Amino acid sequence: MARGEELTRLTAREAVRLLAAGEVSPLELIDAAAARIAAVEPAINALPTLCLERARNAAKKLPATRPDGGRGWLAGLPVAIKDLMDVEGVRTTYGSPIHADHVPAASHPLVGRIEARGGVVIAKSNTPEFGAGGNTYNEVFGKTRNPWNTALTPGGSTGGGAAALAAGEVWLAHGSDHGGSLRGPAAHCSVVGLRPTPGRVTRGTASNLFSPSSVEGPMARNVPDIALFLDTMAGECVHDPLTRPAPARGYADTVDAALAEAKAWWPKRVAWTPDLGGSAPVSKAVRAVCEAAVRRLQGAGVPVEEACPEMGGIGEAFQILRAMIFVVSHGERLKTHRHLIKPDIIWNTEKGLKQTPEQVAWAERERAAFYRRVVTFFETYDLLLLPTSVVPPYDVNKTHIDEVDGVKFDNYIAASMTTSSITLSACPAISIPAGFTEDGRPVGLQLVGRPHDEAGLLAAAALIEELTGLAKLLPIDPRAGTA
């Protein structure tokens, strides 16, 4: 195996250790990533915009000091940034023809934080238009394909980041999540995606800055790498009023402690629900894979009970609150560029414009009541497990999920109940690989932690990941469909 190929197969934490020890240089990793991108990108279209020379220049002048005592230090590791987030001097389209030629003059505060902690941006990852949708395609760059089977979608909206990780193009990828945009693609590509607690990671320049629904977060090939990248991202930011200081103990240190002394870190009581108490139709194929993963956990001696919080009207509340966010983000844009915006975004924005104040007030009350029920639920349970996506990866040419085992949906976001309901809980949630369907399609298991408890969630996720061993399958070659 060539040196460059060996480097692309390293985990992020392995690569950072080599960088810190001087055994490999950032320039060598950039070259290895560039070669891998050139080899596999034609098959998947995950990283349509590269900035390799900018990365090489940045690698030559890494920060002289390590912020926060070196916590989350990436030491020159190449990373990908979702094409919804500005990177200074790099084409950033938001997946929209309206901004097809946009080159920002300044980076988003989160990009600045990542670069200050030794991350080197080498590419922008593909996203659906303005991040709306569960399949990653747009009129600027076209479709992104799933490395496990290029006839299938990688999910959305962080589909480019998930596909790039699975195919070995990058070691870490930035993403964002509203209805499941970090978790869904992670499930479809058999990687890991974390939706942090609102305020854990800066949203900086977002127009809906005071909403807790959308968050930024990390994607990686395994949980220890996710913990490292969360350490890089987390912390107080003056540009985001909801942010808070990073915890006293780093997330990577917590995961290391859990893996070193598993018995002390296993959750004491776990809840499992295949369908949110009947509120979310989940395909038989997904349910079977997730149930097998849960049985493996039970086999390790962890008590698991079938239970979930009372869902109430949270599905409808999500639709109402999401539509209001679309009015904030796209209401003015509809007046000026309606002809360039895809129908799903127009529908979602107009839904918000037609809603009454009474509907919005009801949705806010329902969200608050749901959160209180979730808090009570976690007084009994340490962890909630459920499927991430309601179906396995589907045809890349299909715009969205329109039915599950005969249950039909009337809009593009309706099939996201397993992730969107968790969004309104405000709890941290992570998707880890659960296994594969009989025809080889990846399935993700979603773990939901107690409010504000990313540390406990990551510790449990790392231990469950060790049970499955699925992280060892990555990266894969989309040209051959083999590891």
Tens digit of pLDDT for each residue in 158-171? Answer: 999 999 999 999 99
- How would residue 64 be classed by pLDDT, with cut points 50, 70 and 90? confident
Quick one: average pLDDT of 92-117? 98
* Partner residues linked to 436 by β-bridges: 442
Q: What is the pTM assigned to this prediction?
A: 0.98
Residue 1 has pLDDT above 80, yes or no: no
Q: Which of 422, 418, 344, 398 is nearest to 133 (CA)?
A: 344
Q: Which of 364, 365, 419 is nearest to 390 (CA)?
A: 419
- C-alpha 480/C-alpha 352 separation (Å) is 45
Residue 86 has pLDDT above 90, yes or no: yes
Output the pLDDT for position 480: 63
- C-alpha 310/C-alpha 438 separation (Å) is 32
Phi and psi dihedrals of 258, rounded to 5? -65, -40
Output the pLDDT for position 483: 37
Residue 328 region, left (φ>0) first, then alpha (ψ -120 to 50), else beta? alpha
CA distances in angstroms from 91 to 18, 179, 235, 396, listed in the order given? 31, 26, 27, 25
Q: Which stretch of DSSP H or E encloses residue 320?
A: helix 314-337
Pair type for strands 429-436 and 270-272: unpaired
CA distances in angstroms from 469 to 229, 295, 357, 472, listed in the order given? 21, 15, 49, 6
Output the pLDDT for position 2: 83
367-425: pLDDT as tens digits = 999 999 999 999 999 999 999 999 999 999 999 999 999 999 999 999 999 999 999 99
Residues 6+ apart with CB under 8 A from 275: 281, 282, 287, 386, 387
Percent share of the chain, pLDDT over 90? 97
Residue 482 has pLDDT above 60, yes or no: no
What value, to the nearest 5°, has the Cα angle with vertex 93 and ends 325 and 180? 45
Compute CA 87 distance to the chain's CA centroid, rounded to the nearest angstrom. Answer: 19
11-58: pLDDT as tens digits = 999 999 999 999 999 999 999 999 999 999 999 999 999 999 999 999
170-213: pLDDT as tens digits = 999 999 999 999 999 999 999 999 999 999 999 998 999 999 99
Structure tokens at 279: 């509120």
Residue 481 has pLDDT above 70, yes or no: no
- C-alpha 422/C-alpha 419 separation (Å) is 5
Structure tokens at 199: 């305020």
Residue 274 has pLDDT above 80, yes or no: yes
Q: Residue 279 class from Cβ within 10 Å (0-12 exposed, 13-18 middle, 19+ buried)?
A: middle
Do the Cβ atoms of 153 and 188 come closer than 8 Å? yes
Q: Which stretch of DSSP H or E encloses residue 408?
A: strand 407-408
Structure tokens at 358: 């009474």
Q: Which of 177, 199, 205, 55 is nearest to 115 (CA)?
A: 55
What's the chain's average pLDDT?
97
Output the pLDDT for position 49: 98
Per DSSP, helices labelled H in 72-168 are: 109-116, 159-166
Residue by residue, DSSP assigns 42-73 as HHH----EE-HHHHHHHHTT--SS-GGGGTT-
Structure tokens at 128: 């659906």
Quick one: average pLDDT of 138-161? 98
- C-alpha 158/C-alpha 153 separation (Å) is 11
**Sign (positive/negative) of CA torsion 216, 219, 222, 226?**
negative
* Partner residues linked to 469 by β-bridges: none
SS3 348: helix
- How crowded is residue 189: how many other Cβ atoms within 10 Å of its Cβ? 36
Output the pLDDT for position 68: 85
Structure tokens at 170: 């990058």
- How crowded is residue 1: how many other Cβ atoms within 10 Å of its Cβ? 6
What value, to the nearest 5°, has the Cα angle with vertex 460 and ends 458 and 464? 115
Output the pLDDT for position 4: 80
